[in-house]
Amino acid sequence: MGKLSNIFGILALVLAGAAAYFSFTISARRAEFRLRADKESTALVDIVKAVDADSGTSLAGTVTFTPGNPTAGTKESGSLGWDSFHKAKDDSGAYAAFQNLLNQAVAHVNSLAKQRNDLAESLANVSTTMALPEGQLVIADLRNLGDADTFGKATATVERHVAAVAARDKAVIDALVQAGDAIEMPVDRNALTTREQTRDSEDQPVLGDFACARELSSFATNVKDLNQRAKDYGDTLVDAMDQIKAHRGIFTWSANRERIRDKNSYAGALTQIANDFGKINEQLDGYVAAKNEITDLNTKVDKLEGDLDEAQKDLTATQDMLAKAKERVTYYENKYNETPDTISPEVLRELANNIEGQVISVDHEFNYVILNLGASKVKDNTELLVARGDKLVAKLRVAKVLSNISVADILPIAMQDTVKVDDRVILSAIQD
């Protein structure tokens, strides 16, 4: 019995030692489990916070955890803490509420992963649509979370290409607007940069295509019309050069007609055409001046012809009067056997109206003559006719009267021949 008691005593000591060992071991393991749980919960909370930032959700406010501090005597807390887990146990022995919280965190992360993949697909599609050169972008690079450099290079490639396309579009639009202004057919910039807008079933705005088709079509039509106009102008200039033929010694084309249609050399040809047109214009000015001069000369000829007719009528009338006067003289001489000195005063007055004299000197340099008619026959400004036989030679106007002679100017009117000494002078029947 005593031996048995000793055996039980030893066994009790062994069991006590084993119990102490296992108690220590279990306590250490429990501390490790708690530490692991704290870290897992903390990591999960950090993940949710990171995913939840700028996501439009508020899951970070639901998934919370604060580790306990045995030294300070504080317990862990939060929706992922032990107490929340313990309270989540339902009648079936499950922890549905706690599990639902974990499921929300997992779904949140999965949603982020899906968005990342969708964005990667969208960036790849955008790059393809914007004609990013093949091989410049691999979609897997946009999904690569294990290599930040690879992902950064992929996104930078997309950004550079988008920026390049946007710059190209702006340059094209600027060029179109400037071209429209240059041809005086303005292009509406807004029509090239504004997208059509519709409404969806929830009356939300939905952007569509750029409303540029009509403006671009109009611009293309204007350019075609301008090009056709330019071609027509060139053809017209060439046809005009063919019709305005060169005249030897008067006008010769310096412009090359074939260069007018050459887009690289038409400018020089146009300059030559302008010079040629200037020469043609000078000749036209000369033609107009000559035409006007001819018109003036014709007017003068018409006037001279009129004056000549008038002077001829004057000569005829004067000759008729002279003949009648001579007939009267002869009549009185025969009837009364009288000399002119004894003719009655009435006859003398009639004869005085039909003066006849002679040119005794001519000065062609100063265009005047000396007549043998003195103050008893003529007076200043008396107009006389110069005749040679029955032909009218010229018309005179007395400028100075002396006692026995007079000085008369030769009038350009009715000038038919050169006045000579001994030409007969008679009184003009028509006096101004």
pLDDT in tens, the chain (432 residues): 555 566 655 656 666 655 555 555 655 566 666 667 777 777 877 787 777 777 777 777 778 878 877 777 788 887 777 777 777 778 777 777 778 877 877 888 888 778 777 777 777 777 777 777 777 766 777 777 677 788 788 788 888 888 888 898 889 889 988 988 988 889 888 888 888 888 888 888 888 788 888 888 888 998 888 888 878 877 777 777 777 766 666 677 777 767 777 777 777 777 877 787 777 787 778 778 878 888 887 777 677 666 667 666 766 766 666 565 556 555 555 554 444 444 344 544 444 455 789 999 999 888 999 999 998 888 999 888 888 877 888 889 999 998 889 999 999 876 788 999 999 998 765 566
Comparing CA positions, the residue from 114, 113, 141, 115 lying closest to residue 127 is 141
Comparing CA positions, the residue from 148, 86, 153, 158 lying closest to residue 126 is 158
Comparing CA positions, the residue from 416, 360, 359 lying closest to residue 390 is 416
Q: Are 255 and 272 in contact (CB under 8 A)?
A: yes
- DSSP-assigned letter for residue 336: H
**pLDDT given for residue 183 in this prediction:** 85
The total of other beta-carbon atoms located within 10 Å of residue 422's CB is 8
> Quick one: tokens of 154?
């992929």
> Quick one: tokens of 414?
């009715």
Integer Cα distance of 40 and 35 in angstroms: 9
Name the burial class of residue 163, with classes exposed (0-12), middle (13-18) and buried (19+) by CB atoms within 10 angstroms of its CB: exposed
Integer Cα distance of 385 and 362 in angstroms: 15
Comparing CA positions, the residue from 186, 426, 164, 204 lying closest to residue 320 is 426
**pLDDT given for residue 307 in this prediction:** 65
Q: How far is CA 387 from CA 249, 318, 354, 368, in A?
A: 48, 11, 14, 16
Integer Cα distance of 385 and 364 in angstroms: 17
Integer Cα distance of 198 and 276 in angstroms: 61
Integer Cα distance of 213 and 367 in angstroms: 89
**pLDDT given for residue 397 in this prediction:** 92
Q: What are the DSSP E strand ranges found in 20-115?
A: none
Ordered domains of the chain (ranges, CATH): 198-227 (no CATH), 308-427 (2.40.10.340)
**pLDDT given for residue 398 in this prediction:** 93
